[in-house]
């Protein structure tokens, strides 16, 4: 595989460049690699030396592409702002990279061109992306806008346990967010280009579907599946498909591109009969890129089309066994133009799944497709689902802290029907463009989505459908290395020693997970909220929200802990009756709301017996300062101000 060493070197350089600053770190290995190449060139004038030194050429190739990776990573590295610039208000000028309409407003992805502070000092930026929320605005991709906003770092919501949202955004190169009123945003220009034109066509197609006779849930599903916009899917639908192990159906990705390619090749089958194989492949590839254009040229679609292009190139050159090298070449090309795609979860999952299917699906399917074609196809579908899941579960668990166990039933029902469903959807959308809303096709699509929803709801209804599991990076590396070694051994003659080593590494990964994986601890979080007195309650990885009544004294129990809320005027006797015996509780907490009226904190019955006394963020600042002062005078060190110190998490 000629692209193996360049790809490994490029990945090494990208990872190194992400932590290094400056282009010189990339230029140094390039100079060393070229110098070593010239040295080898001088030594290989004699045939014997050329043969002896041939294997050493991989050294300069590695150094050259590692240096390119470092330089590429540095050049495309997302810009960051110093801490003292955060929270300030700026006049920002930038280009709209993406515009999404959500239920609570619009979300724009802005490529920042310049920022001007309150003193009039302007600074230009490169590779600085801002996620801007606004309350409804008609803008399109490519518009250059100017607006006033504060720059805020994207972090996980402190009112809940970390969800990984901030880290996912950072992997996408987005570190900051802002908000601007729609009336304050001015369109000052427009940049045209292929991506802008693609987005415009995509919006036209989506508008046609929006005004069709399809049911609303079906419209949302088709827009997500065919155009990659999942913003209007309900949380229940996303959760149901995720728990059933078919969340990939909702995301426009390599699987959908492969289905479209299969449909096109099927329609071009007559060219195969007249032996125009290469023409058939190239026409199919051209139509595939046309689909990518009209679907908005989403990064996942472009990546899948690049991979398919290299496979088609190998097939047109009659190199049928070059699929693995075509996959490596496509990954190399993608990372060369977008080095931070390496940290994209979708890119990682696509590459791992395709590589594992290429490595194992063929050798493991021993059913002869000539004598038993249907049985061979069924076994292929089962193997593809099993292999992809076995290869990707560690990555899914690493990023999302859960794995679906009942993935096979839903995949065996939905995946064979998906090509038919997508084919009907393509014909239906084509009819909409021609001005015809074909009612019987709309009925098929509505019933099809209802079937998919029924299957996923049924599978996810089982209590053991999803298991919460968090693995560490060494487990991911160990498991994937084990699969790589076994895959290479299978294709090189099934040598039992490397297969045993690979299996041992995978078994070691499982043992590490079994020994080190711990159940998420129970706990609760007193949330920062100006209106409600709310708590996030955790039973392991299960999360629930509790909202305590305002203008009342209330009490809840969670995992043997007692939480008392005081948010109204009450006499001491009634308080004493509410507060239970501390001996029967693990921990006891009291939260004081804005209605708390006791003038002296000492008068609160059993104040010294509470593990924490929490002052809610709705309490006025002067009253809060008085309570804190009284706690100091009383020697009470269990006081916690949500306004000053943020939400309070208690682990049980």
Domain co-membership, 504 together with 591:
no
In a domain, 260, yes or no: yes
CA 60 to chain centre: 36
Residue 646 has a pLDDT of 92
**In terms of domains, do 400 and 335 share one?**
yes
Backbone angles phi, psi at 160, to 5 degrees: -135, 170
State which H helix or E strand residue 418 sits in: helix 407-433
Q: Please give the Cα distance from 313 to 515 (Å, whole number).
A: 47
Confidence of residue 51 (pLDDT cuts 50, 70, 90): very low
Dihedral of the alpha carbons of 409, 413, 415, 420, in degrees to the nearest 10? 180
Identify whether 202 is part of a domain.
no
Answer yes or no: do 503 and 394 share one domain. Answer: no
Please tell me whether residues 500 and 443 are part of one structural domain: no
The number of distinct structural domains making up the chain is: 5
Tell me phi and psi for residue 643, to 5 degrees: -65, -45
- Cβ burial, residue 167 (10 Å; 0-12/13-18/19+): middle
pLDDT value at residue 222:
92
- Asked, for residue 300, whether it belongs to a domain, the answer is yes
First to last CA, the chain: 53
Residue 273 lies in a domain: yes
Q: Based on the domain organization, do 555 and 623 belong to the same domain?
A: yes
Closest CA to 222 of 259, 260, 249, 257: 249
Do 585 and 441 sit in the same domain of this protein? no
pLDDT higher than threshold 90 for residue 317: no
pLDDT of residue 183: 84
List the one residue out of 79, 83, 63, 163 whose CA is nearest residue 340: 79
What are the backbone dihedrals phi and psi of residue 194, each rounded to the nearest 5 degrees, phi first? -65, -35
Q: How far is CA 566 from CA 67, 307, 546, in A?
A: 63, 61, 15
Top mean-pLDDT range of 262-266, 376-380, 384-388, 648-652: 648-652
Domain with 558 in it: 523-651
Q: What DSSP assignment string belongs to 504-534?
A: HHHHHHHHHHHHH--PPPPEEEE---SS-EE
Is 90 exceeded by the pLDDT of residue 149?
A: yes
Question: Which DSSP category does 182 fall into?
Answer: G
Of the three residues 141, 162, 191, the one that is the final residue of a domain is 191
Alpha-carbon torsion (80, 82, 83, 84), positive or negative: negative
In the structure, what pLDDT confidence band is assigned to residue 300 with cuts at 50, 70 and 90? Answer: confident
Asked if 90 and 215 sit in the same domain, the reply is no
Boundary residue ending a domain (142, 157, 191): 191
Task: Tell me the pLDDT tens digit for each residue of 350-362.
Answer: 888 888 888 888 8
User: Is 42 strand, coil or helix?
Assistant: helix
The pLDDT value recorded for residue 580 is 53
**pLDDT digits 0-9 by tens, 527-583:** 998 889 999 999 887 889 999 999 888 888 888 888 999 888 766 556 666 665 555
Helix extents (H) in 338-372: 345-364
Indicate the helix (H) or strand (E) that contains 403: strand 402-404
For 411-466, how does the pLDDT look when each residue is reduced to its tens digit (9 = 90+)?
778 888 888 999 999 999 999 988 899 999 999 999 999 999 999 888 887 766 67
Contact by Cβ (8 Å): 336, 328:
no
**Both 69 and 88 in a single domain?**
no
Q: Please report whether residue 302 resides in a domain.
A: yes
* pLDDT tens digit sequence for 105-138: 788 899 999 999 988 899 999 899 999 998 876 7
Tokens of 631: 């706690």
DSSP secondary-structure letter at 55? G
| Residue 508 shares a structural domain with residue 420 | no
Residues 342 and 411 both lie in one domain: yes
Rounded Cα distance between 396 and 468, Å, is 11
CATH at residue 173: 2.40.50
Of residues 377 and 551, more confidence is placed in 551
HSE toward the beta carbon, residue 263, CA cutoff 13 A: 20
Report the percentage of the chain scoring pLDDT > 70.
93
* Number of CB atoms found within 10 A of residue 374's CB: 9
Q: Average pLDDT of the chain?
A: 84
Triad 298, 303, 304: Cα angle to 5°: 100
Non-local CB neighbours of 278 within 8 Å, separated by 6+ positions: 316
94 and 132 share one domain = yes
Q: What tokens appear for 563 in the block?
A: 């939480």
Q: Is 473 within the bounds of a domain?
A: no
Whether residue 206 lies inside any domain: the answer is: no
Q: Are residues 414 and 488 in the same domain?
A: no
**In angstroms, rounded to a whole number, what is the distance separating the alpha carbons of residues 625 and 643?**
11
Q: Which of 29, 49, 75 marks a domain boundary?
A: 75
Element (H, E) at 589: strand 588-592
Tell me the C-alpha distance between 357 and 351, whole Å.
10
Residue 174 lies in a domain: yes
Cα–Cα distance, 507 to 478 (Å, whole number) = 9
Please tell me the predicted confidence (pLDDT) of residue 446: 94
**Range of lowest pLDDT (245-254, 292-301, 623-632):** 245-254
Task: Give the model confidence (pLDDT) of 389-408 as tens digits.
Answer: 888 888 888 888 777 777 77
């Amino acid at each position: 595989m000629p692209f193996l060493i360049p790809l490994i070197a490029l990945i090494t350089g990208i990872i190194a460049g992400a932590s290094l600053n400056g282009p010189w770190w990339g230029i140094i290995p390039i100079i060393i690699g070229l110098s070593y190449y010239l040295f080898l060139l001088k030594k290989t004038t004699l045939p014997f030396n050329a043969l002896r030194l041939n294997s050493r050429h991989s050294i300069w190739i590695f150094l050259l592409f590692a240096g390119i990776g470092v330089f590429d990573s540095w050049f495309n590295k997302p810009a960051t702002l110093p801490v003292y610039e955060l929270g300030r208000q700026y006049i920002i000028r930038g280009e709209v990279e993406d515009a999404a309409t959500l239920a609570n407003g619009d979300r724009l992805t802005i490529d920042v061109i310049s920022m001007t502070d309150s003193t009039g000092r302007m600074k230009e930026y490169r590779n600085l992306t801002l996620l801007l929320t606004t309350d409804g605005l008609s803008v399109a991709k490519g518009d250059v806008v100017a607006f006033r906003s504060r720059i805020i770092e994207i972090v996980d919501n402190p009112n809940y346990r970390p969800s990984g949202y901030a880290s996912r955004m950072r992997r996408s190169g987005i570190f900051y967010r802002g908000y601007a009123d729609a009336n304050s945003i001015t369109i000052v220009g427009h940049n045209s280009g292929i991506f802008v034109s693609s987005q415009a066509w995509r919006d036209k197609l989506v508008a046609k579907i929006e005004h069709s006779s399809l049911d609303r849930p079906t419209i949302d599903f088709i827009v997500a599946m065919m155009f990659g916009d999942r913003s209007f899917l309900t949380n229940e639908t996303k959760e149901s498909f995720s728990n059933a192990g078919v969340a990939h159906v909702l995301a426009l990705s390599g699987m959908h591109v492969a289905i479209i390619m299969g449909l096109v090749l099927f329609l071009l089958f007559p060219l195969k009969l007249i032996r125009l194989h290469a023409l058939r492949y190239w026409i199919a590839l051209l139509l595939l890129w046309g689909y990518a254009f009209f679907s908005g040229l989403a990064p996942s679609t472009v990546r899948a089309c690049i991979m398919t292009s290299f496979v088609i190139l190998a097939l047109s050159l009659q190199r049928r066994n070059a699929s693995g090298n075509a996959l490596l070449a496509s990954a190399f090309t993608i990372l060369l133009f977008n080095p931070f795609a390496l940290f994209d979860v979708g890119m990682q999952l696509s590459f791992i799944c395709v590589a594992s299917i290429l490595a194992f699906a063929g050798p493991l399917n021993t059913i002869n497709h000539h004598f038993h074609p249907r049985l061979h196809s069924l076994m292929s579908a089962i193997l593809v689902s099993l292999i992809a899941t076995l290869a990707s579960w560690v990555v899914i668990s690493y990023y999302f802290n859960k794995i679906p166990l009942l993935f096979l039933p839903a995949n065996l029902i939905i995946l064979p029907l998906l090509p038919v469903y997508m084919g009907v959807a393509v014909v239906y959308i084509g009819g909409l463009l021609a001005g015809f809303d074909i009612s019987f096709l709309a009925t098929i699509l509505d019933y099809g989505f209802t079937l998919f929803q029924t299957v996923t709801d049924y599978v996810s209804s089982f209590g053991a459908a999803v298991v919460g599991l968090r693995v560490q990076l060494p487990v991911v590396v160990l498991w994937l290395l084990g699969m790589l070694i076994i895959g290479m051994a299978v294709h090189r003659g099934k040598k039992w020693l490397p297969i045993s080593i690979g299996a041992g590494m995978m078994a070691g990964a499982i043992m590490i997970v079994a020994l080190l994986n711990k159940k998420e601890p129970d706990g609760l979080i007193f949330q920062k909220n100006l209106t409600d007195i709310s708590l996030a309650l955790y039973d392991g990885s299960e999360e629930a929200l509790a909202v305590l009544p305002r203008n009342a004294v209330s009490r809840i129990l969670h995992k043997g802990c007692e939480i008392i809320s005081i948010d109204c005027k009450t006499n001491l006797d009634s308080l004493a009756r509410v507060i239970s015996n501390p001996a029967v509780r693990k921990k006891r907490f009291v939260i004081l709301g804005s209605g708390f009226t006791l003038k002296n904190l000492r008068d609160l019955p059993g104040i010294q017996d509470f593990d924490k006394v929490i002052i809610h963020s709705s309490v006025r600042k002067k009253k809060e300062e008085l309570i804190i002062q009284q706690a100091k005078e009383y020697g009470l060190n269990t006081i916690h101000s949500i306004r000053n110190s943020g939400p309070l998490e208690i682990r049980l």
